[in-house]
Amino acid sequence: MPQFQIVEKVEHTLEVKKSQFITWVMPITSKQQAKEYIQQAKAQYPDARHHCWAYVMGDNPNSMTAAMSDDGEPSGTAGKPMLNVLQHKPVSNVMAIVIRYFGGVKLGAGGLVRAYSQAVEQGFSLAELSEIIPMVDMDVSVPFADEQWLRHQAEQFNASIEETNYSEHVDVFLTVPAHKADNFKQVMDSRQIICKIRA
């Protein structure tokens, strides 16, 4: 199943029985960045009653880190439903913060769970996603005469040339989409070109 990432932060406001739920959904790369976003939300909306949040981080489903906070809402009514929405999306390295202004009408536990879930769901639906394509690092060494041919092959395989060094040969470091790496190596082998996958 393909994995996606959010391209940039989105904001959305949901109103439920006069309570306002301001939602931020954004890409994150570290716990430190998550903390900074929470501080930013508190600084931008200092008079809000709650700044609830949840995030999912990691590059593959086996090494995911997740965290959440109800920030004063009854236990399990904010952070958990928010996290639940994120965990059911094909996306990683994503955070949601919901800033709540109380409107005077109590929503009850069930109402809160629905409101926080809906806030993240609606915010997420506005986000632009881009697919994460796993890449493989490769070192290729070619004679000068084959440099243009190699560049052409790199283009054909959607590989990205990261570094080129000129010595007795042209040493090229490139990244190749993982699902095309074997075929790329076969093409190199067919011309007796040294091609190594970086460990």
Top-level CATH class of 134-197?
Answer: alpha beta
Domain ranges across the chain: 3-131, 134-197
Q: What is the pLDDT of residues 36-89, one digit of tens each?
A: 999 999 999 999 999 999 999 876 656 678 999 999 999 999 999 999 999 988
CATH of domain 3-131: 3.30.230.30
Encoded tokens for 59: 């590059």
To the nearest whole percent, how much of the chain has pLDDT over 70? Answer: 96
Burial letters 74-107, b for 16+ CB under 10 A, else e: eeebbbbbbbebbeebebbbbbbbbbbbeeeeeb
Query: Is 134-197 in the same CATH topology as 3-131?
Result: no
Q: What is the pTM of this model?
A: 0.71
Residue 173: pLDDT over 60 = yes
| pLDDT attached to residue 131 | 80
